Amino acid sequence: MKTLPVSTFSAPKGTYDLLPPDSAAFLAVREALAAPLRGAGYGYVETPGFEHVELFSRGVGESTDIVTKEMYTLTTKGGTRLALRPEGTASVLRAALQASLHRAGSLPVKLWYSGTYYRYERPQAGRYRHFSQIGAEAIGTEDPALDAELIILAADAYRSLGLTGVRLLLNSLGDRECRPAYRAALQEFLRGLDLDEDTRARIEINPLRVLDDKRESVRRQLAGAPAMSDHLCQACKEYHEQVRDLISGAGVAFTDDERLVRGLDYYTRTTFEFVHDGLGSQSAVGGGGRYDGLSEMLGGPALPSVGWAVGVDRTLLALRAEGVVQDLPSPTDVFAVPLGDEARRELFAMVTALRRAGVAADFAYGGRGVKSAMKSANRSGARYAVVAGDRDLAEGVVQVKDLGSGEQSPVPLTAVVDDLRRRLA
Ligand code: ATP
Ligand code: MG
């Protein structure tokens, strides 16, 4: 066989191509994460892959890694500054506000999305510059049951995939009542530590984010930091208790994590992260929380909201780490192998009829010999091959071969579609 030249191009650093057969597992994960949302009243939303830079600098936060280090920005020929979307929440809220969804129907506005996101990160396993998320947002309602609903939906999605090693970390970040006093106490504490210049600057802009620092030298010093839980106001305390009760009641286990602040500025009250220990140097498979102030930050009305985003790539890695074998439907049920021109016509028509009847069917293209065609039939994963030559057609039959057992029997051409449907049912 002649070898074909390989392209001189490869995918950019930090990206990868999704190809069969792995892409089927990826689609199945995406579907498993989305299905519970559709079943809970969330409608699908799709927003552009790029937005005005300010949406993210304002919405995600000027001091976050996402905005300062990870955002891909560009200036159009017309001079507009755009950014490839690094996350979904700001865009989804922008879209809901723009369309006035919060005025059109009853609240909350429940939306789910699926898409690819872009962050200029140092690539490693599970950390890419182009990655995939499924997300959900419930906009316009302050109700601990809504926070609980979202957490339960994500936990159930992981469970439906067969994952057992996903842990839920939970925290409350307080609200505009109690957070300022905590923020001041934390700043006071952090100013006394031995930190580099960038981190010192962060103390003044967003001190909570210092708690999220992953460096061991910093983490060690944070041991005695004041805890938000000691500063929560009565309303936040009660709210958080209700969230905890509701998710416990649903049988979803969690760990209280005082240090959980997450990398985005807009969170208030409930914050959570789903982590998995089989992902090498990272652990987050998903995360989210309540963002009661974001709408106003974007110039909208007060719309208390809650949401999450789950990484599809990392969920797939978690499945692999646990050795979970997904139950994927075979891409092909029936493979047609024609011998001769008349058989080509007849079996091509049969394949079309099978597909129209809902049976996944494929065909030996390229007019190959029976040996090579049967090899393709076996490789396709089909359960049945339909083989026919001139002699079969003269008798009005085709040969249906069970590729598992090797058994073969003649079936009238006029009955073969129904026959195969019955066998596959
Ligand atoms: P990390 O702490 O690992 O950087 P993050 O807090 O930045 O995660 P989020 O912004 O909360 O992540 O995004 C939600 C989910 O999207 C994460 O839990 C993770 O599964 C996934 N994710 C985030 N960044 C990447 C990336 N660069 N590559 C692959 N998946 C990612
Ligand atoms: Mg990150």
Cα(39)–Cα(35) distance, integer angstroms = 6
Strands 43-44 and 109-118: parallel
Domain end, chosen from 300, 322, 344, is at: 322
User: Do 25 and 137 belong together in one domain?
Assistant: yes
**pTM of the model as a whole:** 0.93
The share of the chain scoring above pLDDT 70, in percent, equals: 98
Ligand 1, atom 21: closest residue by C-alpha: 311
The answer to whether residue 41 is domain-embedded is yes
**Closest ligand 1 atom to 135 CA:** 14
Fill in the amino acid letter for 259: R
pLDDT-derived band at 111, boundaries 50, 70, 90: very high
Whichever domain contains 131, its CATH number is 3.30.930.10
CA–centroid distance, 209 to ligand 1, in Å, is: 16
The angle, 0 to 180 degrees and rounded to 10, between the axes of the packed helices 22-38 and 312-322 is 110
Answer yes or no: is 204 within a domain. Answer: no
The C-alpha atoms of residue 308 and residue 24 are separated, in whole angstroms, by: 24
Question: Do 58 and 133 share a domain, yes or no?
Answer: yes
Predicted confidence at residue 221, as pLDDT, reads 94
Which residues form ligand 1's pocket by a CB distance below 6 Å?
Answer: 87, 119, 121, 126-128, 131, 133, 262-263, 282, 284-287, 309, 311, 313-314
User: Is residue 251 domain-resident?
Assistant: yes
pLDDT tens across 87-109, in order?
999 999 999 999 999 999 899 99
Given a cut of 60, whether residue 1 has pLDDT beyond it is: no
For residue 48, being part of any structural domain is answered with yes
Number of domains in the chain: 2
How far CA 16 is from CA of 84, 212, 314, in Å, comes to 17, 28, 13
Q: Are residues 347 and 298 in the same domain?
A: no
Distance 100 CA to ligand 2 centre (A): 31
pLDDT at 15: 97
Residue 2 has pLDDT above 70, yes or no: no
pLDDT of residue 263: 64
C-alpha 284 to ligand 1 mean position (Å): 7
Q: What angle do CA 359, 331, 356 make, to 5 degrees?
A: 25
- On whether both 97 and 135 belong to a single domain, the answer is yes
Backbone angles phi, psi at 141, to 5 degrees: -135, 135
Last residue of a domain, one of 277, 298, 322: 322
- Digit-coded pLDDT (tens) for 143-167: 999 999 999 999 999 999 999 999 9
Residue span of the structural domain in which 359 resides: 334-424
Mean residue pLDDT of the chain comes to 94
Q: For a substitution probing ligand 1, which of 16, 70, 131 has the most ligand atoms within 8 Å of its CB? A: 131
Atom of ligand 1 nearest to the CA of 214: 2
Q: Are residues 282 and 392 in the same domain?
A: no
Q: Answer yes or no: are the C-beta atoms of 172 and 236 closer than 8 Å.
A: yes
Q: Are residues 236 and 381 in the same domain?
A: no
Mean pLDDT of 247-272: 89
Domain boundary among 265, 294, 322: 322
Ligand 1 pocket test: pick from 67, 91, 127, 272 the residue with the most ligand atoms within 8 Å of its Cβ.
Answer: 127
178 pLDDT more than 80: yes
Dump pLDDT digits (tens) for 272-315: 999 999 998 889 999 999 999 999 999 999 999 999 999 999 99
Same domain membership, residue 398 and residue 371: yes
Q: How far is the CA of 68 from the centre of ligand 2 (A)?
A: 12
What are the Cα distances from residue 250, in Å, to 145, 155, 170, 274, 291?
11, 10, 15, 16, 23
Q: Is residue 138 a contact partner of residue 307, using CB atoms and an 8 Å limit?
A: yes
Is there a single domain that holds both residue 153 and residue 259? yes
> Is 413 in the same domain as 276?
no
Residue 11 lies in a domain: yes
Nearest atom, ligand 1, residue 284 CA: 18
* Structural domain includes residue 384: yes
Evaluate whether residue 69 is within a structural domain. Answer: yes
In whole angstroms, give the CA distance from residue 66 to residue 64: 5
Question: Residue 186 falls within a domain, yes or no?
Answer: no
Least confident stretch, 61-75, 120-134, 293-307, 350-364: 61-75
CATH, residue 408: 3.40.50.800
Question: Do 314 and 340 lie in a common domain?
Answer: no
- Residue type for position 280: G
Can you tell me which atom of ligand 1 is nearest the CA of 315?
A: 20
Is residue 268 located within the same domain as residue 341? no
Q: For ligand 1, atom 2, name the residue with the nearest CA.
A: 284
Give the per-residue pLDDT at 329: 83
**Total residues found in the chain within this entry:** 425
Q: Assess whether 297 and 346 both reside in one domain.
A: no
